[in-house]
């Protein structure tokens, strides 16, 4: 019995004492860095960034909000509280855009047209004559021969521009008035501008009809 007890490894004395274990643990603990006192800059930087943005937004709103008045951003109110009137349209400028978009193809930028094909507008007795004539030409179109300064033009018909049957363009009275005002002003023409009311009056008086002829227009005084 005594022999087995002496050879049992479970009964061997511990190779390491408690004192040596404590010293080993203290040594290991002493090597661990103290992270609790270390601060990272990224969260602090973000905190200051967002705080600055909030401050800027509050300052901006305080300065430019207009105290959230419904009248601050009303584009129809003039300074001082007066209601803005309707914007006046430059009929000649509008007519120039219409002319350059469509009419320039035939009558050319010079207003001289093409000999024997498209009649000139510059210095034309038709352009500088009664407003009702040129209104009817653009409103209803023109077919057949027409004579300008003694020269005949009979190769092409004038399209129908007004809001009438067979119109290829369906222009409003304002557009017709604008392009005629431009034509009667440009190339040293000296005729008065045409208003949308004048175009509407001709349209109402004549009604819906086919293209005009030179004979039809000569009856207009």
Residue 41: band (very low, low, confident or very high) from pLDDT cuts 50, 70, 90: confident
Residue 66: band (very low, low, confident or very high) from pLDDT cuts 50, 70, 90: low
DSSP 40: -
Mean pLDDT of 161-187: 94
Per-residue pLDDT, 78: 65
Q: pTM for the complete prediction?
A: 0.61
Domain map of the chain by residue range?
A: 91-218
- Rounded CA gap, 64 and 72, in Å? 10
Give tens-digit pLDDT for 86-126: 667 789 999 999 999 999 999 999 999 999 899 999 999 99
Structure tokens, 143: 């077919």
Per-residue pLDDT, 37: 55
Residue 61: band (very low, low, confident or very high) from pLDDT cuts 50, 70, 90: confident
Contacts of 146 (CB under 8 A, 6+ apart): 119, 126, 152, 153, 154, 214
Instruction: Judge whether residue 68 has pLDDT over 90.
Output: no
User: By the 8 A CB rule, do 218 and 146 touch?
Assistant: no
User: Quick one: fold of 91-218?
Assistant: Cytochrome Bc1 Complex; Chain D, domain 2 (1.10.760)
DSSP 148: E
User: By the 8 A CB rule, do 194 and 134 touch?
Assistant: yes
Mean pLDDT of 6-30: 65
Structure tokens, 104: 């320039």
């Amino acid at each position: 019995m005594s022999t087995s007890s002496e050879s049992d490894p479970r009964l061997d004395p511990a190779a390491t004492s408690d004192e040596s274990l404590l010293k080993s643990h203290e040594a290991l603990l002493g090597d661990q860095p103290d992270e609790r006192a270390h601060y990272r800059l990224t969260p602090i930087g973000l905190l200051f960034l967002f705080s600055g943005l909030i401050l800027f937004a509050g300052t901006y709103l305080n300065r430019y909000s207009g105290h959230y008045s419904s009248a601050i951003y009303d584009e129809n109110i003039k300074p001082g509280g007066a209601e803005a009137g309707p914007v006046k349209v430059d009929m000649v400028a509008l007519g120039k855009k219409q002319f350059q978009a469509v009419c320039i193809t035939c009558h050319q930028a010079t207003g001289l047209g093409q000999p024997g094909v498209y009649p000139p507008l510059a210095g034309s007795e038709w352009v500088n004559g009664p407003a009702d004539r040129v209104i009817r030409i653009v409103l209803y179109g023109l077919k057949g021969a027409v004579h300008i300064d003694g020269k005949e033009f009979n190769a092409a018909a004038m399209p129908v521009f007004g809001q009438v049957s067979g119109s290829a363009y369906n222009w409003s009275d304002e557009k017709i008035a604008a392009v005629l005002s431009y034509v009667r002003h440009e190339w040293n023409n000296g005729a008065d501008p045409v208003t949308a009311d004048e175009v509407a009056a001709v349209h109402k008086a004549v009604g819906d009809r086919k293209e005009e002829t030179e004979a039809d227009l000569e009856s207009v005084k």
